[in-house]
Amino acid sequence: MKRFFPTIIASVVLALSLFSLSACTKTPEENPIDTLEERVAAMTLDEKLGQMIQAERNAVSSATVNTLNLGSILSGGGSHPSPNTPQGWLTMTTAFRNASLNSSSGLPVLYGVDAVHGHNNLLGAVLFPHNIALGATRDADLVERIGAAVAIQLKATGVPWNFAPCVAVVQDIRWGRSYESFGENPTLVSELGVAYTLGLQGEGVLATAKHYLADGGTDFNLANGYPIDQGNVSVDEATIRSIHLPPYIALIDEADVHSVMVSFSSISSKKMHASKLWITDVLKGELGFEGLVVSDWEAIHQLPGSLMFQVSAAVNAGVDLLMEPNQYESVLSALKQAVEANTIKMERIDDAVLRILKVKEWLGLLDEPETAPSIDLAADQALAREAVAKSQVLLKNNGVLPLAKNAKILLVGPGIDNIALQAGGWSFSWQGESTSDNFPNGTSLLDAFTAVAEANSGSVTTDKSKISQVDVVVVVLAEKAYAEGVGDSPDLSLTGKMAHPDNASALNIAKLSKKPVVTLLLSGRPLIVTEELSNWDAFVMSWQFGTEAAGVTDVLYGDVPFSGKLPVTWPKTKDANLTSSMFTNRDISLIEFDYGFGLTN
């Protein structure tokens, strides 16, 4: 008994100690009293600051994620694991997740990509039409279904965060990101932005409203050295609130969007990344946004001063998560210095971390991961084909359309057999510098025309010497693929800066042809066609529509009626800045095709 009694006491003490330790280390899901606020309060400063950093996958290792308690990782444009397959992505994202779960904070990493028209970093993924083409469909249900399909593509690769939709209201089509906008009308942008967000988040993928604020309204003045991308917005606050703010209000109120990305651009020469007025006072205060605010790619480095000042200015303005693909360690160090110097208050840090954790909780990242779904390639192709058909805008038709299915057709122009030109920027690479080999499941226009001809005793040739033997000449003009910055152009002619160099020879064939001419334009925005239009019997705006060209032939051959309507005004001259005057007096003499125009036959 003398030996047994102390053993019982020791056992009780040990049991109580284990119970106490277990209670302290339980996750919020296991212990309802342990709230996210309490979890933030229990974290060390280093753990909190790590959550506020997002690094690029190529610049980090699992060990780095573990040591620094990194909160987020991204793939930049064209960044992907090897092999670039769903399983290859899952292996990578799972390794990062496991490393983060084994860190001192035990918090899972949040992985994000720019899947702006499909999972455009994934080899073989179906790519949908860019936003400007979806704006032409005026079909919110279609856009919501596309959002859901993109979400499945992402979840199949272990990616829960999409940096989309872009809800810029484009006011000058010389902007190189015009195709990322649903159009020039804030009501249209709001409706389709809400639909896309509902599709993404309905499937459990985090959507991002971007780029806050007024990125589609920056000044264009190359003479004074101000490019439109990342430039300055000089309109008054009333104009910003009437044109550029409504989509954010709609996405917050109607779609409960959980993340917002800040724009590189400025308002009244004040960089958005340092604007406490617009981020904290308006977005988080007035609009009641409760999600996380993320910076754009290394954008804080455009702010003046030292790195610590840049970090402090952005975080104090209301930025919660810093996208620092390569300089994450130095930014993390500067962030800690700012807190220790009391330049950033702990209340602001705790608020940022709490917002990040709430998003992770909403996504279910704090729970055991679900089994990744499989991508339904055939369903995605069918959906994209539907979207392509509905986005085609018929601008002229002198009785040549619909084409007879047994017609003999000559295809000419740079876009006839080039899926990269169909897809445009943000397609397997950032600027879209790809070849058709990068789209193994895609269908080119040549493929689509050939399929119809072979099934109906027609013929298709690309041999210009046979022009006298055909019934119709189809000319496919194109812009080069491009993305932000590179695509800014003061010259929107068919042979201008961003036009494909092979357009000129195709235009000459159209001019000299004695056969009926149908012209298609693969472009991210309207180009100036005033002089050439008289040489064409039919003209179709096909946009940069992605990987499914059969949607184009569906309308050209009459299987699907034309229904697309222009989401932006089409100018007659390259210098006309028409869309920015949408809500004021417009000079109709400068308009080739007005907003909302589109023939049905």
Closest CA relative to residue 315, chosen from 284, 289, 349, 341: 349
Bridge pairing between strands 408-412 and 266-267 = unpaired
206-215, 222-231, 315-324, 383-392: segment of lowest average pLDDT:
222-231
In this prediction, residue 490 carries a pLDDT of 85
When the pLDDT of each residue in the chain is averaged and rounded to a whole number, the result is: 93
Query: What are residue 464's phi and psi, to 5 degrees?
Result: -65, -25
Q: Are 122 and 539 in contact (CB under 8 A)?
A: no
Q: Tell me the CA end-to-end span of the chain in Å, nearest whole number.
A: 101
What pTM did the predictor assign?
A: 0.94
Known catalytic residue: 554?
Answer: no
**Burial (CB count <10 Å: 0-12, 13-18, 19+), residue 96:** buried
What is the model's pLDDT at position 238?
Answer: 96
Distance separating alpha carbons of residues 367 and 162, to the nearest angstrom: 20
Which CATH number is 379-593 given? 3.40.50.1700
- Give the type of residue at 164: A
Residue 11's pLDDT is what?
Answer: 37
Contact 126, 548 (CB under 8 A): yes
- Determine the pLDDT at residue 476: 98
pLDDT bin (cut points 50, 70, 90) of residue 462 is very high
CATH topology of domain 28-363: TIM Barrel (3.20.20)
- Confidence at 585, pLDDT banded by 50, 70, 90: low
- Read off the pLDDT of residues 500-534 as tens digits, 9 standing for 90 and up: 999 999 999 999 999 999 999 999 999 999 999 99
pLDDT in the model for residue 442: 98
Those residues whose C-beta lies under 8 Å from the C-beta of residue 307, and which sit 6 or more positions away, are 301, 330, 331, 334
Confidence class for position 226, pLDDT limits 50, 70, 90: low
Indicate where the chain has its CATH 3.40.50.1700 domain(s). Answer: 379-593
Q: Which residues pair with 473 in a beta bridge?
A: 410, 517
Q: What is the pLDDT of residues 299-321, one digit of tens each?
A: 999 999 999 999 999 999 999 99
Give CATH 3.20.20.300 domain extents, the chain: 28-363
pLDDT grade for 577, boundaries at 50, 70 and 90 = low
Catalytic pick among 172, 229, 296, 380? 296
pLDDT in tens, 150-165: 999 999 999 999 999 9
pLDDT (mean) for 379-400 = 99
d(CA 233, CA 469): 54
Q: Which of 243-247, 430-434, 517-521 has the lowest mean pLDDT?
A: 430-434
Q: Show the tokens assigned to 453.
A: 């001809």
Instruction: Report d(CA 190, CA 518) in Å as an integer.
Output: 34
Residue 159 has a pLDDT of 98
Q: What is the mean pLDDT of residues 193-209?
A: 99
Q: What are phi and psi of 72, to 5 degrees?
A: -155, 155
List the 393-397 sheet strands across, edge first. 393-397, 538-541, 517-522, 472-478, 408-412, 459-461
Residue 575 confidence class, pLDDT cut points 50, 70, 90: low
Q: How far apart are CA 144 and CA 194, in angstroms?
A: 8
The two structure tokens encoding residue 290: 């409760």
| Contact call for residues 522 and 543 (beta carbons, < 8 A) | yes
pLDDT of 582 above 60: no
More confident residue, 10 or 29: 29
Torsion angle defined by CA atoms of residues 223, 229, 230 and 235, in that order, rounded to the nearest 10 degrees: 70
Query: In the chain, what percentage of residues exceed pLDDT 70?
Result: 92
14-42 residue pLDDT tens: 333 333 333 334 343 444 438 999 999 99
What mean pLDDT is predicted for residues 533-552? 98
> Would you state the pLDDT for residue 434?
86
Residue type, 282: V
Instruction: Over range 97-120, report the average pLDDT.
Output: 98
CB 107 within 8 A of CB 72: no
